Structure 1
């Protein structure tokens, strides 16, 4: 019997996400983010969300849209930059932010999807990450309302390591380049960073696919995420699949041939 996980639309695929849900969201900056699932969730209206992602989008794009609409209550991330509203809400005491080292965050999600409850890592030993006291939420007057707890530190082979708990979320929203109807995913380039571990950590994982193929068309070595982790697949139109924005575009004027320095002879 063939498996077909295709959903009719992005709106249908996120329709059951309730208020207060936790979501792991793939992508790095704006690269590889699930643009249309995020926008469908914004339109759906669920709020009081906990978001686990490398960052929270930018002002006016990606997860920044949910943040601006005040749909997010807590963010577990490794980076606040590129989003002024994110920084403003954090410092104003309007959102809880659990900052986590980038590699640790990816591993916490992967561990959650692998059934591992916690793991030890040297990252963060000797800092507030391990010792506790990182501000997670502020009062409006700028005082700390909630701070991170201290974590267990043990020594393995002469090296101190801190215990980090795995992350399991209610849902995960990701984007992939090619997906078959059974949910097996292939990612392109940098989109392969946080999308696979985010997908693994979600109990219900939804993927927006730039291209959908039949089961068997993906070579086994091209499958970066097995379909066992995917619940729903949303097929994008060619126009939607072409949407790939970046945070900042920096260019310079190329020197003309006449301005170029003469070659050495």
Structure 2
């Protein structure tokens, strides 16, 4: 009897040892696999960064055309020197580029027109508060069914299509809204216009798949002047202004 008990205990010990060994082996294999995967991802990222830096323009974050204005980087009133193009105002340094961009866009669609350019912080605040009021009362852009909502919810709604004062690029005089339709809906024309924008120093500021970096939903009408070389580089590498500036020295 004692021999049977001892034999059973010995078998049980061997079984437990085998299970533990299997678990340790599995864990080790998994760790090695994860380590190999992490190493592969790091190598891929390193190669990507090297490719980005290979032909990086000689630019700096402090360059006037690369100023960043957003909810994460608010700026007080910038008071740019302004000039008029059609029915809008822009920084006088981009007048010719804006005129040429508009003319090129109108060759694609004669209905293309400038909608908005420079907006002061004070005017942006007026617009922003008006949008909040409309959303609260149920006749806004998001809340359209006549129901009343809180100011907090209204602000969340508004920030899907308008920026708070000191957070709008229109304060720079370097941003323009341009479309072939007043409703600003997506169109094939908008895509074609976005493709030619870099030739005139502009980029589509808020692309479809970049909300995680810009904080703003896709806007097919909002273009930002960054200079021809910067614009072409950003477009080639599919970079937002935030991502591009992160590659540059101060």
Query: Is TM more than 0.5 here?
Result: no
Category of TM-score, reference length = shorter chain? under 0.3
Larger radius of gyration: 2
Which structure has greater strand proportion?
1
Which one has the bigger helix percentage?
A: 2
Given the two structures, how large is their TM-score scaled by the length of structure 2? 0.28
